[in-house]
A and B are shown apart, each in its own frame.
Chain A
Amino acid sequence: MTPERCAVVGIGQTHHASAGRDVTLGGLVREAAERALLDAELGWHEIDALVLGKGPDFMEGVMSPELLLAEALGAVGKPVLRAYTSGNAGGVAASTGVALIAAGQFSRVLVVAFEKQSEASGPGSTLQRLPFEAGWQGGTGSLFGAVCREYIHRSGAPPEVGDLAALKDRRNALLNPYAQVRRPDITLEEIAASRPLWDPIRLLHSSPSSDGACAVVLADEPSAARSARPVWVQGSAVRTEPYLSAEHDNVDPRAGAECAASVYRQAGITDPRHELDVAELFVPYSWFEPMVLENVGLADRDGGGWRSVVAGATAIDGALPVNPSGGLLGANPIGAAGLIRFAEAALQVRGDAGDHQVDGVRRALGHAAGGYSNCFAMWVVGAARP
């Protein structure tokens, strides 16, 4: 059984904002979807099926929003799937879309992911107030701070690594017209002196709360043949592990490593550090960049991640640029953030990333993560048909 080949033929996203007060939920997803369709030179009637990804329904206070958004997404009369699996929803949505094509069921699938955090309290809606647990008000950051400390403990990373990775992403975000956080005069000193949140995470190491949406149009081979610039999905995978498992390692989760190994294997990649030209990684706090680099095999597991950051290897003109878009530090509409990484990877392959384009990209990695470092989705996209 040979899965059908799948290509990205359309990409769109919104101008992300801390509060998109000019649009409803429907308006937000519609904006991204219409840009993707325009980019694909396709009409709504040419879409066969849809996947909607987003984070917890608590974020907007709307249950099962794929129902509410049916018309905004042009989904009436069509099959629709909702992807969640936590904050990597956007990545999982893309993976579900690829599967719909690969299974030979549909020719063109629209994948849309969004989050509109201004509708409710983002940090508040991720707090678990369980009746049998002590009250704590830390949100996700307090957990991830501990994970970063463990990484520092294991790898011996010096304190400035978080500052350097943040400076790189914040400068890259200035090159991305869709980024929300733009600080033209940002300095290393300013980042290092910013307010501590959860040691070692400081305010300017952190991604913002965002409203935003992203959409991609996926196509099977016959439909892709009619596209001017198809970007081929060379590998796509989802991996999840139980976060309460005794084996679960928050710093170097096996699900993340195996998800990466799967997409590299599918893409025929044996040396990802040299065969990938750029990576868009899910880095909600800058300290995660070195951790993720090691987890997905883009750096040695003995601190190679932080040494890459210090050496500037992940800069936009480095040996392996990471997050030329600015990544999550530029905007983090949670449910959409994973799909934005996937879409940015495809833009790089197509050569359409504008001011944040990396030269000569033939193959790129898109990475999404969620939960308590236990849920992952990734794809490898390239110019060459698999």
Chain B
Amino acid sequence: MSRVAVVGWASTAALEPDGRNEAELLGPVVDQALGMAGLSGAEVDVVCSAGSEFLNGVVGTVMGAFDALPGWPPRTHSHLEADGAFALYEAWIRLMAGEGGVALACAFGRPSAADPAGVLALQQDPYLVGPLGTGPRHLAALQARAMIDTGRCTERDLAEIAAARRGLDVAALLAMPHVASPLRESDCSAVCAGAAAVVLATEDRVPISCERPAWIVGIDQRMESARIGQRDLTVSTSTRLAADRLGLPGSSIDVLEVHAPFSHQELLVIDALGAGRVGSLNPSGGVLPADPLMASGLVRIGAAADALLRGGAHRAVGHATNGACLQHNLLCLLEGA
């Protein structure tokens, strides 16, 4: 199998609704990512896009977003209702399966068109749990409480994570009220609209202008049960499974980008990785300050690759998650030449 590298990426986030639709969010980042890679849209063989029509509030928004993508003449294009990191996984698979040499993984989300917490509550069992209206914050708060009860962390620990990611003062955050005890607003990601694009190339198609391709050593992703009551919420078993498959426990990582929509989940992912050394954690700032739903996980992989593309780091890991309480987790291990 040919090696595959990240050769370009870009992202955008709109913290306040700014009127851009899906295609307008996606188009510029696709151009920027291809520009960074030194490739044209015509050279893209495989497109894997991701988003959520439910979040955007209109069926068929996926079709409208296609207008922003290299699409004529027709090509291999698959769309997932998921975070873009899973589109990147599929793009990597399709390149290794011999379906092409250059792939574009991209994602977009415009949750400002709907009530994101209400929509995400629809991920739960529609017969028994959904009618209760349990949104992501309620479930994440149960998880954070369980971690505090086991002694893994305190509310102050969570505030310290939030303060570090947001550049704010710990004491000031602790003085704020809970939104879902023990979580405060600062512990919850700032859900917003946005888009991301990552360009992948097989070894023979990496542009000469790309001096430091970020080689994908491996990607592994694992699912857990949707039934919160049947999981030990204080550990991320699926992240651990993926980390084991990639040989991460005990290893040295220069840059780690964690997709943790709630501050305590950063601890869960780091615990599950079991890395021997993490040089830089979330140099992008992570998702607490800006969380463009459906693009956030792909941004983490782009940001991890960025450290290799720009030089200065050798080994980077991007993490992405989907579902309540870290139900579905993906790890992407990247290395410089």
Please name the residue on chain B nearest to A127 by beta carbon.
Answer: B59
Knowing A3-B98, A58-B54, A63-B123 are in contact, say whether A104-B1 is a contact too (CB < 8 A): yes
CA distance A77 to B328 in the complex (A): 9
CA distance A99 to B1 in the complex (A): 13
- Are B66 and A242 within 8 A (Cβ)? yes
- Are A62 and B123 within 8 A (Cβ)? yes
B-contacting residues, A67-125, CB 8 Å: 67-71, 75-86, 92, 95-96, 98-100, 102-105, 119, 125
In the complex, chain B residues whose CB is within 8 Å of the CB of A70: 223-226, 327-328
- Are B78 and A25 within 8 A (Cβ)? no
CA distance A240 to B237 in the complex (A): 37
- Are B76 and A238 within 8 A (Cβ)? yes
Q: Can you list, as one digit per residue, whether each of B86-107 has a CB less than 8 Å from chain A (1) or not (0)?
A: 1001100110111100000000
Chain A interface residue number, banded: 35 or more
User: A372 in the interface, Cβ–Cβ < 8 Å?
Assistant: yes
User: B142 in the interface, Cβ–Cβ < 8 Å?
Assistant: no
CA distance A129 to B227 in the complex (A): 34
- Are A64 and B123 within 8 A (Cβ)? yes
A-contacting residues, B28-63, CB 8 Å: 47, 52-55, 58-60, 62-63
In the complex, chain B residues whose CB is within 8 Å of the CB of A255: 74
Stretch at the interface among A201-209, A224-232, A243-251: A243-251
CA distance A126 to B227 in the complex (A): 30
- Are A241 and B71 within 8 A (Cβ)? yes
- Are A86 and B62 within 8 A (Cβ)? yes
- Are B72 and A247 within 8 A (Cβ)? yes
User: A128 in the interface, Cβ–Cβ < 8 Å?
Assistant: yes
CA distance A85 to B253 in the complex (A): 36
Chain B nearest CB from A373 CB (Å) reads 11
**Number of chain B residues whose Cβ lies closer than 8 Å to a Cβ of chain A:** 62
Q: Interface majority SS on A: helix, strand, loop or mixed?
A: loop
Please name the residue on chain A nearest to B73 by beta carbon.
Answer: A254
In the complex, chain B residues whose CB is within 8 Å of the CB of A67: 123, 223, 226, 322-324, 327-328
- Are A242 and B76 within 8 A (Cβ)? no
- Are A76 and B71 within 8 A (Cβ)? no
Q: How many A-B pairs with Cβ below 8 Å?
A: 189
User: A307 in the interface, Cβ–Cβ < 8 Å?
Assistant: no
- Are B98 and A62 within 8 A (Cβ)? no
User: B67 in the interface, Cβ–Cβ < 8 Å?
Assistant: yes
- Are B59 and A56 within 8 A (Cβ)? yes
Please name the residue on chain B nearest to A256 by beta carbon.
Answer: B74
CA distance A64 to B328 in the complex (A): 11
Stretch at the interface among B124-132, B162-170, B272-280: B124-132
In the complex, chain A residues whose CB is within 8 Å of the CB of B327: 67, 70
In the complex, chain A residues whose CB is within 8 Å of the CB of B226: 67-71
Please name the residue on chain A nearest to B76 by beta carbon.
Answer: A238
User: B148 in the interface, Cβ–Cβ < 8 Å?
Assistant: no
User: A182 in the interface, Cβ–Cβ < 8 Å?
Assistant: no
Knowing A62-B126, A81-B86, A255-B74 are in contact, say whether A126-B60 is a contact too (CB < 8 A): yes
User: B79 in the interface, Cβ–Cβ < 8 Å?
Assistant: yes
CA distance A118 to B94 in the complex (A): 34
Task: Pick from B63, B69, B82: contact of A86, CB below 8 A.
Answer: B63
- Are A83 and B78 within 8 A (Cβ)? yes
CA distance A30 to B109 in the complex (A): 31
In the complex, chain B residues whose CB is within 8 Å of the CB of A242: 66-67, 69, 71-72
CA distance A75 to B81 in the complex (A): 17
In the complex, chain A residues whose CB is within 8 Å of the CB of B80: 81-84
Closest 7 CB pairs of A and B: A255-B74, A240-B77, A102-B97, A103-B96, A241-B74, A99-B97, A242-B71
Binding site for B on A (CB under 8 A): 1-3, 24-25, 56-58, 60-64, 66-71, 75-86, 92, 95-96, 98-100, 102-105, 119, 125-130, 237-245, 247, 253-255, 258-259, 371-372, 374-375
- 26 residue pairs A–B, Cβ–Cβ below 8 Å: A3-B97, A60-B126, A62-B126, A63-B81, A63-B122, A67-B323, A68-B123, A68-B226, A70-B224, A77-B241, A78-B222, A82-B86, A84-B80, A84-B81, A85-B79, A119-B126, A126-B59, A127-B59, A239-B74, A239-B77, A240-B47, A241-B73, A242-B66, A242-B67, A243-B66, A374-B63
